[in-house]
A and B are shown apart, each in its own frame.
Chain A
Amino acid sequence: MPDRNQFISAIERREHLRALGLMRQLFNEAPTLASAQFVLKQAAPIREHLALVPCRLAILRSFTVEPVVPILRALALFHGIDLIVHVGDFNAYNTELLDPQSSFYGFNPDVVILATQTRDVLPELWNDSAATEDCEALAARAASNIEHLIDSLRSRSKAHLILNTLEMPNFPNAGILDSQRNTGQSEAIRNVNRRLRETAAKHLGVYVLDYDALIARFGRLNWGDEAKWLTMRMPLGADSFVHLAREYIRFLLPLCGRTCKALVIDLDNTIWGGVIGEDGLDGIKLGAEYPGNAYLEVQRAILDLHRRGIILAICSKNNPEDALEVFNQHDAMLLRIDHFAATRINWKSKPENIRELATELNIGIDALAFLDDNPLEREEVRMLLPEVHVIDLPAGPAHFAAALRSTPVFERLALSNEDRDRGAYYQAERQRAQLQATGVALDDYYRSLGMVVEIGAVSSRTIARVAQLTQKTNQFNLTTRRYSEHEIASKAADARWRVDALTASDRFGDYGLVGVAITNQIDDVCEIDSFLLSCRVIGRSVETALLSYLAREAASGGMRSIRGWYLPTRKNAPSKDFYPKHGFKMINENDGKMLFEHDLSKEIGWPDWIELRTESEPR
């Protein structure tokens, strides 16, 4: 268990990430307002060393939310986000959203949370259900008010907006009678919430936080505190603010690109009970009875993450044949070996194996989460690989699944087809690796893949994935400009701009939508604003194909030259030589940023082993 001295000495040794990890552990042991304030104070001097992503969050509210702010800022810090928070005036969210001169618009937020509660939004429904008008009319009125606020926000800001659902009363005004009719208080609230969800779904970048479900999860009677409401107008109990902050974090991580892409799991005593090497196939615990059923729940939770597009990998100290026997022979196993994109089943240290897994999967170490029942293994990974998100597990397996499900680093705000198909993609990738390992020449290897790409303008069907790629792609990304769906849509609608999306497939399977190029026509110059490729296809000359396509399109549009910046980040070194390798000349250099240009009278060669297919589906 960490103590404050350990943490102070980590700071002295300048191990800043390690210090941050220890602070996270300290906070989780006593998740209170005072702990959050302690964390923020201690972290102040090391903030600059943590490569934090800044995020400006405005909380517009109908009730006292201030105690959530230090807790939220501390949690954000643990996930690498420097959160700057603006809290709107008390119950002034309507005017703040409608008035272009409000201090809220002056703050220029990236994310807006509208923190409301039923008694403020629809007091007539909360206080006096007998006088309630027709449920449908009430819901329509509430939805149209929200619609109005969204429109106002959208005309002035690109910020993401998070809306609360209305919460149910602890005790409906009509008692159990409320459930017997479809005009009761609860039904009216359900109606409003349904309309709210429909309204949000119509707008890009507007999301719903199920506030009622959040309250229910922790217990309606424990959520609020009537004593503080009546004396200080504060409706929430002390612990509820911690739960609220954690729920906000679930949204902020995907919005700030601070999620994990892969989950690395241990095997013995993590996804089955016992040690396969000692207990044998018949001795391990997995099945309908406790503790076997607890491990089944863990496997279900892992499978759900797989379906959400999280890459799975194994890191286990075992003889490989023992571990594989469980996957192949045990009837109760839900996870199959082909759910995993990579495995390290050996006797090497876990940090060493995890480092190799990151390389094999071609993702950053900070995009990995680690699940292991053994506190010593977790501690070793925390010490040696502080970038990895180590999932805290309680002592017994009964609560493992819940711990995994409550981990915020796997949250996604939208699911693309690529997310759903990621498992199949990694299976195909292993077959490709086998082909390459047979030792064929590179050109022959490319040719044997039978690669087909489709390039076309972004459409309503592809916009979510395009925005997602701009937010998540780090390595092959020339400018690393992050765009929301809303920003992509406005660029696509502008005649001077083009947003092209590339999908690829080969004989082993589909890669999905893996490339994006955003260009901007300035007189007779085509300027490449963004050019990026998912790490899945790097090194298969798809990047050359996309660049060749852009050049050809620009030339046929009458443009004289094509140019683009390389803006260095901590992670995009793999794209540094991209333009010069394709014959571009450097025409400007400033502080590592380089501008390259290519004369369009010369073509950029199309790799002849890639087939270009024009769009088969209408936009």
Chain B
Amino acid sequence: MTNDAILEKVRAIVAGVSEVEVARVTLESSPTNLEEWDSLAQVNIVLSLEQEFGHQFSPEQIERMVSVEKIIEVLTARAA
């Protein structure tokens, strides 16, 4: 999967879970600048990513996933 494809999937999941338009979710989005991304949305984002990418995250990975950019870092590092 290309990095662009991963970005699009992550944006779709974050937007779907937080119930906002995909256009509002960017590489820089995080719980600090996207109000709808609260702690419950975080749980659902992690679960949805696991189902979408068929990967179970380690505690260390979960703790690093605090923005779209960081999520993509974790996902690409997993593939490598």
Closest partner residue, chain A, to B65 (CB atom): A231
A-binding segment of B23-31, B38-46, B71-79: B38-46
Dominant secondary structure of chain B at its interface with chain A:
helix
How would residues 18 to 37 of chain A score, 1 for a CB under 8 Å from any chain B CB and 0 otherwise? 00000000000000111001
Dominant secondary structure of chain A at its interface with chain B:
helix
Q: Find the residue from A38, A227, A230 having the highest chain B CB count within 10 A.
A: A227
Minimum CB–CB distance for B64 against chain A, Å: 10
Minimum CB–CB distance for B74 against chain A, Å: 13
Taken together as a complex, chains A and B put the C-alpha atoms of A504 and B48 apart, in Å, by 55
**A231 near B62 (CB under 8 angstroms)?**
yes
Residues in A whose Cβ lies below 8 Å from that of B17: 33, 37
Taken together as a complex, chains A and B put the C-alpha atoms of A64 and B38 apart, in Å, by 14
Q: Which of B43, B48, B59 contacts A32 (CB 8 A)?
A: B48
Asked if B56 is an interface residue, CB under 8 A from chain A, the answer is yes
**B43 near A230 (CB under 8 angstroms)?**
no
Residues in A whose Cβ lies below 8 Å from that of B57: 227
**B16 near A234 (CB under 8 angstroms)?**
no
Residues in B whose Cβ lies below 8 Å from that of A67: 43-44, 47
Taken together as a complex, chains A and B put the C-alpha atoms of A234 and B45 apart, in Å, by 13
**A232 near B51 (CB under 8 angstroms)?**
no
Interface of A toward B, CB cutoff 8 Å: 32-34, 37-38, 64, 66-67, 225, 227-228, 230-232, 234, 237-239, 241
Taken together as a complex, chains A and B put the C-alpha atoms of A34 and B13 apart, in Å, by 7
Closest partner residue, chain B, to A234 (CB atom): B43
Taken together as a complex, chains A and B put the C-alpha atoms of A231 and B65 apart, in Å, by 11
Residues in A whose Cβ lies below 8 Å from that of B58: 227
Taken together as a complex, chains A and B put the C-alpha atoms of A227 and B50 apart, in Å, by 12
Asked if B35 is an interface residue, CB under 8 A from chain A, the answer is no
Interface bracket on B:
20 to 34
**4 A-B pairs with the lowest CB-CB distances in the bound complex, closest first:** A32-B51, A238-B47, A231-B62, A227-B59
Residues in B whose Cβ lies below 8 Å from that of A241: 47
Closest partner residue, chain A, to B9 (CB atom): A34
Taken together as a complex, chains A and B put the C-alpha atoms of A574 and B22 apart, in Å, by 51
Taken together as a complex, chains A and B put the C-alpha atoms of A213 and B43 apart, in Å, by 26
**B42 near A32 (CB under 8 angstroms)?**
no
Minimum CB–CB distance for A219 against chain B, Å: 14
**A227 near B62 (CB under 8 angstroms)?**
yes
**B62 near A232 (CB under 8 angstroms)?**
yes
Taken together as a complex, chains A and B put the C-alpha atoms of A152 and B51 apart, in Å, by 40
Minimum CB–CB distance for B42 against chain A, Å: 7
Known: A66-B40, A227-B57, A231-B63. A34 touches B46 (CB 8 A): no
Minimum CB–CB distance for A415 against chain B, Å: 37
Asked if B52 is an interface residue, CB under 8 A from chain A, the answer is yes
**B40 near A228 (CB under 8 angstroms)?**
no
Taken together as a complex, chains A and B put the C-alpha atoms of A64 and B47 apart, in Å, by 13
Q: A33-B47, A37-B16, A227-B56 are in contact. List 16 more A-B contacts (CB 8 A).
A: A32-B48, A32-B52, A33-B48, A34-B13, A34-B16, A34-B48, A38-B16, A64-B40, A66-B43, A225-B56, A227-B57, A228-B46, A231-B63, A232-B43, A238-B48, A241-B47
Minimum CB–CB distance for A81 against chain B, Å: 22
**A33 near B51 (CB under 8 angstroms)?**
yes
Taken together as a complex, chains A and B put the C-alpha atoms of A241 and B63 apart, in Å, by 22
Minimum CB–CB distance for B11 against chain A, Å: 13
Closest partner residue, chain B, to A238 (CB atom): B47
Taken together as a complex, chains A and B put the C-alpha atoms of A299 and B78 apart, in Å, by 47
Taken together as a complex, chains A and B put the C-alpha atoms of A228 and B56 apart, in Å, by 10
Known: A238-B50, A238-B51. A33 touches B59 (CB 8 A): no
Q: Which of B43, B51, B59, B62 contacts A34 (CB 8 A)?
A: B51
